Amino acid sequence: MVFQPTAIYESDRSGFRPSNHRSGLTGKFTSRDEISQTWPALIGCSRNGKDRISRSFYVRERDEGVCVQERKQFKRFSYHTRGVPGDTLTLVAYYVLQSGLYLKAAASIIEKVSIAVSSPNIAKPFHMGHLRSTIIGNFISNLHEHLGGKVVRINYLGDWGTQFGLLQVGLNMSNYTDEMIKQNPIQLLYQAYVTANQAAQNDSALGAKAREIFQSLEEGSFADIKKWENYRNYTVDELQRIYKRLGVTFDEYEWESMYSTVQIRSVLDQLEEKGILKLEEDGRKVVNLNNNRRATLVKSDGTTLYLTRDIAAALHRYGKHSFDRLLYVVENGQNDHFTALMGTMKQMDLLWAERMRHVKFGRIRGMSTRKGSVVFLKDVLDETRDLMHKKQLESPNTRIDLKSVSDTTSDILGVSAVIINDLKQKRQRDYEFDWNKALQLQGDTGSKLQYTHCRLYSLEQNCGAQLPTECDPSVLQETEAVLLVIEVARFGEVLNKSHEELEACILVTYLFRLCNLTNQAFKVLRIKDQDPHIASQRLLLFHSSRRVLQQGMNILGLKPLNEM
């Protein structure tokens, strides 16, 4: 029996939208044990006591056989089959394979989301906390876009505060030319900052000078403001080279200095008019929070704090984007800051303040270069590239001539290793970075995903079979085939769960299992020298597996390789 729902599906493909936020596969089963081993994570129980998986599909027994229907917002369609081997769950999975719904059955989230991520500081190393924020935020952004959301990716760079007065002191002490800083801004600015910080510990006058410089910056009267802007622009240029290697882009760059005292005077006035901002005896201006806590917004010398500027930034973002959600992807250690931020916004009687969320993550411990030096992300990425290149030279599975190509492949493999090593962890959990585990070619790593994708791509290019337009489940009845069909069909449900929890590890774990089942199927489901019909049906299954793997890797922020 051949399933033929494609013509109906194609007729309204442009209008396809799942009808609810928990789309996936639904079916009735004779017992819970029937699918508990193959689909344990998705077993649920409806009100009438029947086991089911989500709500988008339902199954009815009719005279002509089993009827599988998909609920849609604008239309319904169904197919009927009689005498096809397998339980109803498997029938639904074959239907998903046939119609391409493994890429379409995720929840539709028509919402505007602003996501503030990365946020490195000028003159300080792009450390691993910024890396986590960058790649977790990139995953969340990609996932929302895949599910139909409109995303604004914001990189909010720290270029303000008393420490930047100290940086200027360090630059005045150094012999760095403008051209030198332009060529290597992050490292030289950091060295200038460290030099001034060490000198200020023995000379209080330098600290006073730093505060004086920052106050002039706040007031807009700093004489070398153009030079300061150049340093910031040089830094962004270097950061963009790093982001390009990570496959990360931003829609907007914001500077903390956009919200200096002069620019946010109206915000402070608004807080005072509402009676939220209180003047202390020492000249500070504070906000009273719950639990008898107070948050300072203006220091006694009149300069603002990071919290003050974050309030102004949130108001600016809502005025510009009218977001449905505003997500801050920032480490656990900043929880008190965001509690104060959101508490203050709610006191301002802003209804949209409820839409703000702090997406927390844990810290990476033990992250340094193998030589133990200070962690600049560029150094880490260079080292992973070089180590992956060495491993490729040593591996018998390498299929490309590494001597005749650039380091692009090794760089992509190194970046994949770093990203997957991070995203396979629970988001809020601290973890210890292990170079050997992260860069190994075997096991659950980024290399595993890349290798499986390359293998599937090579199969499609060289097997000699034609990709069919219809799925014949009677041909795909080997245990390895059935398990892989079901796993492919789970993709939409996995994306929904990843979205609900904002957890990349859910998707990463799924892709590892997909790779395992694909590699098991490789051993049994031969394509070359097989009957053309059987070969084409097996090719459809492997093609579907590759498409899911490719989509999943893209959402995680990886660039799938076709050869390695």
- Following DSSP, what letter does each residue of 175-189 receive, concatenated? ---HHHHHHSHHHHH
Q: Could you give the residue ranges of the DSSP H alpha helices within 82-127?
A: 88-99
Identity of residue 495:
L
Task: Quote the mean pLDDT of the chain.
Answer: 80
DSSP character for 58? E
Report the alpha-carbon distance of residue 303 to residue 214 in Å, rounded: 9
**Residue 389 is a catalytic residue:** no
Distances (CA, A) of 82 to 66, 86, 162, 486: 6, 11, 75, 20
Q: Report which of 291, 292, 364 is spatially closest to residue 130, judged by C-alpha positions.
A: 364
Report the alpha-carbon distance of residue 127 to residue 132 in Å, rounded: 9
227: pLDDT strictly greater than 90:
no
Q: What angle do CA 528, 533, 539 make, to 5 degrees?
A: 55
Bridge pairing between strands 44-45 and 51-52 = antiparallel
pLDDT band at 401 (very low <50, low <70, confident <90, very high): low
Identity of residue 27:
G
Mean pLDDT on 303-323: 93
pLDDT at 259: 85
pLDDT band at 530 (very low <50, low <70, confident <90, very high): very high
Q: Tell me whether residue 221 is exposed, middle or buried, using C-beta atoms within 10 angstroms of its C-beta: 0 to 12, 13 to 18, 19 or more.
A: exposed
- Rounded to the nearest 5 percent, the helix, strand and coil shares of the chain are 50, 15, 35
pLDDT at 111: 81
**Residue 127 is a catalytic residue:** yes
pLDDT at 375: 64
Of the given ranges (59-68, 324-333, 443-452), which has the lowest mean pLDDT?
Answer: 59-68
145: pLDDT strictly greater than 90:
yes
- From 80, 104, 124, 278, active-site residue: 124
Of the given ranges (47-61, 170-184, 292-306, 434-448), which has the lowest mean pLDDT?
Answer: 47-61
Structural domains of the chain, ranges and CATH numbers in brackets = 6-99 (no CATH), 112-265+300-361 (3.40.50.620), 377-556 (1.10.730.10)
428: pLDDT strictly greater than 80:
yes
pLDDT band at 326 (very low <50, low <70, confident <90, very high): very high
137: pLDDT strictly greater than 90:
yes
pLDDT at 71: 46
Mean pLDDT on 219-223: 72
pLDDT band at 396 (very low <50, low <70, confident <90, very high): confident
DSSP string, 375-403: --HHHHHHHHHHHHHHHHHH-TT--S-TT
Report the alpha-carbon distance of residue 120 to residue 134 in Å, rounded: 10
Report the alpha-carbon distance of residue 249 to residue 268 in Å, rounded: 33
Strand, helix or coil for residue 340: helix
Report the alpha-carbon distance of residue 238 to residue 171 in Å, rounded: 19
Distances (CA, A) of 471 to 98, 265, 534: 5, 65, 11
Cβ neighbours of 358 (radius 10 Å): 17
pLDDT at 501: 96
Report the alpha-carbon distance of residue 491 to residue 502 in Å, rounded: 16
pLDDT at 59: 44
- From 130, 453, 497, 499, active-site residue: 130
Report the alpha-carbon distance of residue 480 to residue 107 in Å, rounded: 28
pLDDT at 510: 97
Write out pLDDT tens, residues 19-62: 222 333 333 333 334 333 333 333 333 334 343 433 344 444 44
Write out pLDDT tens, residues 197-211: 899 999 999 999 998
Of the given ranges (16-20, 66-70, 241-245, 326-330), which has the lowest mean pLDDT?
Answer: 16-20
pLDDT at 453: 98
Q: Report which of 23, 24, 25, 28 is spatially closest to residue 87, judged by C-alpha positions.
A: 28
Strand, helix or coil for residue 56: coil
- From 50, 80, 127, 378, active-site residue: 127
pLDDT at 29: 36
Report the alpha-carbon distance of residue 495 to residue 18 in Å, rounded: 13
Q: Report which of 329, 331, 405, 417 is spatially closest to residue 381, judged by C-alpha positions.
A: 417
Write out pLDDT tens, residues 538-552: 999 999 999 999 999
Mean pLDDT on 520-533: 96
pLDDT at 113: 94
- At a CB cut-off of 8 Å and minimum separation 6, what does 310 contact? 337, 341
DSSP character for 53? S
pLDDT band at 387 (very low <50, low <70, confident <90, very high): confident
Report whether 106 contacts 496 (CB < 8 A). Answer: yes
Write out pLDDT tens, residues 80-132: 334 433 455 566 677 777 777 666 544 556 689 999 998 888 877 777 778 89
What is the Cα 55 distance to its own chain's centre? 27
pLDDT at 53: 38
**Residue 497 is a catalytic residue:** no
Q: Could you give the residue ranges of the DSSP H alpha helices within 247-302?
A: 265-273
558: pLDDT strictly greater than 80:
yes
Percent over 70 (pLDDT), the chain: 78
